[in-house]
Amino acid sequence: MIYDIETLSTYNFFKISATGDLSLMSDNGEVNRDVETKWFEIVDKFNEITENTNHKNYLMDRIELISLKTRYDILCNCINSLIYVYDKDLINIIQEMGYKFDENNVEQSFEHLITQSRVLFKKIQVKNNEFKRKYFEDKPEHSEFSPYIYVKEIAKKMKIQVDLKTTPTILFAYYIKDLRKWQTEE
């Protein structure tokens, strides 16, 4: 079963947001297009209810970072494998990723790929630092991407104790919406 906004726990919603681990979206841990599609539907609905676009920006930045890391891992694995075994499929993967590999000048091609992997690694470091600075540097325990600040405020203002592992994401989104409404009325 693939969870939706009514069945996904708030804990798993924020855990997926932080880690990108979509295996938490289904009871069998399977990740496929349906799971990805459902995840983005949940995020869109959560943002619609809470009237918040910052969470979506956070997720898009997180996806970009994960994508860069995945690209780096693939490139490094291809380079490491090609050192030991010449494999046309690996060369095709490298070329499909946009890197050059001249089979007539293998040594220069490896140097180029190693340089490109270092450039990609530096880019990941820069993006990761930007990400941390943008979303967590000020006060991570009070980040709007952490549910705990909301749990504390909900308990204080609404007199409700929220268990993140059992509270559905949709209910938590409505709690946030109500909390924000009450905060603006004060």
Same domain, 73 and 134: yes
Same domain, 100 and 134: yes
Can you give the pLDDT at residue 139?
A: 45
Same domain, 84 and 21: no
**Over residues 38-51, mean pLDDT:** 88
For the chain, percent of residues with pLDDT exceeding 70? 92
**What span, in angstroms and rounded, lies between the C-alpha atoms of 35 and 32?**
5
Count of domains observed in the chain: 2
Parent domain of 167: 1-51+144-186
Same domain, 149 and 135: no
**Over residues 54-76, mean pLDDT:** 84
What does the pLDDT look like over 80-100, one tens digit per residue? 999 999 899 999 999 999 999
Confidence check: pLDDT of 186 > 80? no
Label residue 111 by pLDDT band (50, 70, 90): very high
Please measure the distance between the N-terminal and C-terminal CA atoms of the chain and give it in whole angstroms.
Answer: 42
Same domain, 3 and 16: yes
